[in-house]
């Protein structure tokens, strides 16, 4: 669990020395963060759907810009908070995790893998239904195909983090010695 | 996968209190996150065999003194 370079040491310090209030580390707060990040992913999927229905058009383009303007800052903020509030179970390199944290991460990746496999099959079915034989290019706009891939990539990348944030139980309270050492004084 | 059948009882909190060791000190000695010690004490996480042996070695007691498949008798009981 030792950092191997300055970047990892900085990552670890950022998590260990976080000044977020104690309630930020509760399961309730982490679940709200996971829900926020999940809403950002849902917006990406909706954006792909809008492009599927309206592209190529100005309405589809403006919708795309508006969605990106919302989800980039909000999604990145939520992901950054999830890294800190899961104490690095999300985000830190594997060698900086102990066996419990590594097991949490592996379990979350297993669940996310199954969920994204189902998602990929649904996407395949949706795309296949839009290309019945010849002339499919008219029914599947290029912008929609690209946005569909963007939504898929974002989901595959972010889902394990969301699952970890959702699942982690409340941390045990610090023991009395620690409270005295780190309390007011 | 975890169930009551797989629950492993432990006396880490008792041993730690007896020796006046904080969770952070124990975690540093075991090279685990300090919250992991808390999860172990609350029985919300069962350690690997390797970690269990290291915990026993740290307290200088046999592993069965720290871990058991059955609940440990309460202090003062005659069991």
Would you state the torsion angle of the CA atoms of residues B3, B4, B5, B8, taken in this order, to the nearest 10 degrees?
Answer: 100
- Distances, alpha carbon B59 to alpha carbons A99, B21, B34, B68, B76, in Å: 20, 10, 17, 16, 22
Q: Is the pLDDT of residue A84 over 80?
A: yes
Q: Give the nearest chain B residue to A180 (CA atoms).
A: B22
Exposure string for A84-112, b = 16+ CB within 10 A, e = fewer: bbbbbbbbbeeebbbebbeebbeebeeeb
Q: Give the nearest chain B residue to A12 (CA atoms).
A: B33
Fold observed for domain B4-68: 434 Repressor (Amino-terminal Domain) (1.10.260)
Chain center to CA of A87: 16
Q: How confident is the model at residue A18 (pLDDT cuts 50, 70, 90)?
A: confident
Q: Is the pLDDT of residue A181 over 50?
A: no
Q: Give the nearest chain A residue to B51 (CA atoms).
A: A99
B53/A contact by beta carbon, under 8 A = no
- So what's the pLDDT on residue A184? 33
Q: For residues A57 and A67, which has the higher predicted lDDT (pLDDT)?
A: A67
Domain ranges of chain A: 24-169
What is the rounded CA–CA span in Å between residue A78 and residue A41? 12
Which of A93-97, A141-145, B4-8 shows the lowest mean pLDDT across its residues? B4-8
Q: How confident is the model at residue A57 (pLDDT cuts 50, 70, 90)?
A: confident
What is the rounded CA–CA span in Å between residue A27 and residue A39? 18
Question: Mean pLDDT over all residues of chain A?
Answer: 86
- So what's the pLDDT on residue A103? 94
Chain center to CA of A63: 22
What is the rounded CA–CA span in Å between residue B40 and residue B12? 8
- So what's the pLDDT on residue A133? 65
ipTM of the predicted assembly exceeds 0.90? no
Cross-chain residue pair B36–A100, CB shorter than 8 Å: yes
Pair of tokens at residue B20:
């006046």
B19/A contact by beta carbon, under 8 A = no
Integer Rg of chain A from CA: 20
Domain ranges of chain B: 4-68
Task: Report chain A residues touching chain B, CB-CB < 8 A.
Answer: 1, 87, 97-101, 169, 171-175, 177-178, 181
Q: How confident is the model at residue A11 (pLDDT cuts 50, 70, 90)?
A: confident
**A contacts of B38 (beta carbons < 8 Å):** 171-175
Q: How confident is the model at residue B79 (pLDDT cuts 50, 70, 90)?
A: very low
Mean pLDDT of A177-185: 43
Q: Mapping DSSP to helix (H, G, I), strand (E, B) and coil, where does residue B57 land? A: helix
What are the pLDDT digits (tens) for A100-146?
999 999 999 999 999 999 999 998 888 888 776 665 555 678 888 89
Facing A99 at nearest CB: one of B23, B24, B48: B48
């Amino acid at each position: 669990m030792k950092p191997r370079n300055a970047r990892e040491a900085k990552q670890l310090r950022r998590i260990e020395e976080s000044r977020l209030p104690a309630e930020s580390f509760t399961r309730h707060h982490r679940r709200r963060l996971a829900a926020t990040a999940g809403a950002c992913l849902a917006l990406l999927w909706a954006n792909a759907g809008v492009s599927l229905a309206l592209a190529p058009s100005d309405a589809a383009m403006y919708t795309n810009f508006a969605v990106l303007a919302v989800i980039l800052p909000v999604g990145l903020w939520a992901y950054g908070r999830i890294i800190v509030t899961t104490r690095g179970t999300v985000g830190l390199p594997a060698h900086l995790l102990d066996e419990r944290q590594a097991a949490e991460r592996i379990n979350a990746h297993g669940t996310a893998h199954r969920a994204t496999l189902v998602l990929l099959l649904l996407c395949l079915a949706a795309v296949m239904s839009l290309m019945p034989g010849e002339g499919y290019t008219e029914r599947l706009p290029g912008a929609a195909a690209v946005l569909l891939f963007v939504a898929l990539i974002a989901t595959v990348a972010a889902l394990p983090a969301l699952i970890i944030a959702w699942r982690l139980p409340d941390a045990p309270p610090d023991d009395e010695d620690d409270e005295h050492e780190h309390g007011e004084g | 996968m975890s169930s009551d059948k797989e629950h492993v009882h432990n006396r880490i909190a008792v041993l730690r209190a007896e020796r006046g060791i904080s969770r952070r000190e124990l975690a540093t000695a075991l090279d685990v996150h300090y919250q992991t010690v808390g999860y172990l004490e609350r029985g919300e996480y069962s350690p690997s065999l390797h970690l269990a042996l290291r915990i026993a070695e740290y307290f200088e007691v046999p592993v069965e003194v720290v871990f058991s498949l059955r609940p440990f008798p309460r202090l003062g009981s005659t069991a």
